[in-house]
Amino acid sequence: MDARIREIVSGFSFLEGPRWHDDRLWLSDFYMHRVMSIDADGRVTTVAEVPGQPSGLGWLPDGRLLVSSMRDRRVLRLETDGRLVEHADLSNIATGHINDMVVGEDGTAWVGNFGFDLMGGAPIAPARLASVTLDGTVRVAAEGLHFPNGSMITPDGKTLIVCESTGNRISAFDIVGPGQLGPRRDWAVFGPLPQSTDATTVVQQAVVTPDGAVLDAEGAVWCADVTHHRVLRVAEGGHILQEISTGDMGVFACTLGGADRRTLYLCVAPDSSEHNRAPSREAALWAVQVEVPGAGRP
């Protein structure tokens, strides 16, 4: 493990979707079924209970929180009175658990999904990326993606960047209208597309398995590399600028936060197996200081 890393809090099941918002870090715990916020002193507050398993987080222009509810494939909205209500139903689009989400300045949510039953051992299959506009309209924004995961919007609001966890690549799309994307293009390619539909084989052959990610002010992406227990700072084109090892712990998501957005927060756990993580409390939030601050969304 990189010596610069420090532990912020521990004792969770599996952490995902970290976001810096309103001077706090927000994140989801899959198997404790809650969304939390953590203040500068490390105090943890439960924001919402999500029985359907929370993941991606984002905020509407009026400040209300959106949450991906993975198992029932819905985006939920936290009202000002504390009620969680349905914002959008993605069950006609998502062919696996929905996961990471980024919400644009206009309130459009871009939501990925696994594409297949990962925990049930099903063959790998392509997935669709969904969009939900502020009025609740649900669309298929892109198809044929390889486990669309960590998603980011550039500071000018014109480009959506999406990590493809089983695709050895990060893709980019022009945002051409509310909930609408132009054609996919390569943002970074680490290796060939997988030829196998067996998840174990694909993982073994992965050069990089990009998961949760965040943009910085120089246009680089920090992404969690699940397979190799590291976070990578990647330039457009695929050149790896920096690597930080998490040692024996896997890292599944990261974000830049803190007052100057130069704290890289890492969601770590021994592995991602639901069988192992659900009954355990071995996940933690780590942090490391970096030079370039965060930018764009999240």
pLDDT at 268: 98
Whether residue 1 lies inside any domain: the answer is no
**Gap between the Cα atoms of 294 and 298, Å rounded:** 9
How does pLDDT run across 280-291, given as a tens digit for each residue?
999 999 999 999
Strands 230-234 and 148-153: unpaired
Question: What confidence score (pLDDT) does residue 191 get?
Answer: 92
Residues of the chain falling short of pLDDT 70: 116-121
- Angstrom distance (rounded) from CA 236 to CA 220: 7
In a domain, 298, yes or no: no
- For residue 260, the domain's CATH number is 2.120.10.30
Q: Is residue 296 part of a domain?
A: no
Paired tokens of 39 = 């203040």
Asked if residue 295 is part of any domain, the answer here is no
Provide φ and ψ at 201, rounded to 5°: -65, -45
Alpha carbons 180 and 71: distance in angstroms, whole number: 25
Judge whether 159 and 153 are in contact, CB under 8 Å: yes
Q: pLDDT (tens digit, 9 = 90+) per residue, 212-271?
A: 999 999 999 999 999 999 999 999 999 999 999 999 999 999 999 999 999 999 999 999
The DSSP secondary structure of 184-197, one letter per residue, reads -EEEEE-SPPP---
The pTM is what? 0.95
The answer to whether position 196 is within a domain reads yes
Tell me whether residue 106 is in a domain. Answer: yes
CA dist 68 and 257 (Å) reads: 21
Residues 292 and 217: beta-carbon distance below 8 Å: yes
Dist. CA 269–CA 229, nearest whole Å: 10
Alpha-carbon span 129 to 141, nearest angstrom = 5
Integer Cα distance of 150 and 23 in angstroms: 22
pLDDT score of 121:
67
* Encoded tokens for 174: 């022009």
Reported as type and span, the H/E element at residue 201 is: helix 199-205
Is 297 part of a structural domain of the chain?
A: no
Q: Count the domains in the chain.
A: 1
Q: Which domain holds residue 32?
A: 6-289
**Residues whose CB is less than 8 angstroms from the CB of residue 201 and which lie 6 or more positions away in sequence, other chains included:** 194
Q: What is the pLDDT of residue 116?
A: 65
Q: Is 103 left (phi over 0), alpha (psi -120 to 50) or beta?
A: beta
Which helix (H) or strand (E) segment is 222 a member of?
strand 221-225
Rounded Cα distance between 53 and 87, Å, is: 16
Classify residue 124: in a domain, yes or no: yes
pLDDT at 195: 82
Quick one: how far is CA 296 from the chain centroid?
14
Q: CA–CA separation, 82 vs 142, rounded Å?
A: 33
